[in-house]
Amino acid sequence: MNAMRRGNLINKINRLVPEARAVPSEEYNGGDGGVWIRGSEDYHNDGTRIFNYWEWADEPHKSPDGVPYKVHPQLRDIIAEAGWFSEPQNAGCLMLWK
């Protein structure tokens, strides 16, 4: 499967989950080619956080150190369908990469 182009992914996330406020990773720290979820600590309109590093999830993603973290299910599905993966930059910041 070919991964979705970054601009298309950003547009899709911002259209379907606007609370995520996705932007190119260069706006965070200059990291090239990723996506920064600026609304990582915000809440979806269903009352669930966009990203919660500290919450144990039923179907958790795993950070590089093996610690599970929770990504909102709708956002998680968009990321997976696009052929990308999520990774915490820190406990309050979620990044996406191909």
Count the residues in the chain: 98
**What is d(CA 54, CA 78) in angstroms, rounded to the nearest whole number?**
22
**What is d(CA 68, CA 51) in angstroms, rounded to the nearest whole number?**
12
- Residue 25 and residue 33 in contact, taking contact as beta carbons nearer than 8 Å: yes
**What is d(CA 98, CA 33) in angstroms, rounded to the nearest whole number?**
8
At residue 60, the pLDDT reads: 62
Read off the pLDDT of residues 50-62 as tens digits, 9 standing for 90 and up.
Answer: 998 887 666 666 6
At residue 86, the pLDDT reads: 92
Across 26-43, average pLDDT: 92
- Residue 33 and residue 98 in contact, taking contact as beta carbons nearer than 8 Å: yes
Read off the pLDDT of residues 13-29 as tens digits, 9 standing for 90 and up.
Answer: 999 999 999 999 999 98
Percentage above 70 pLDDT, the chain: 86
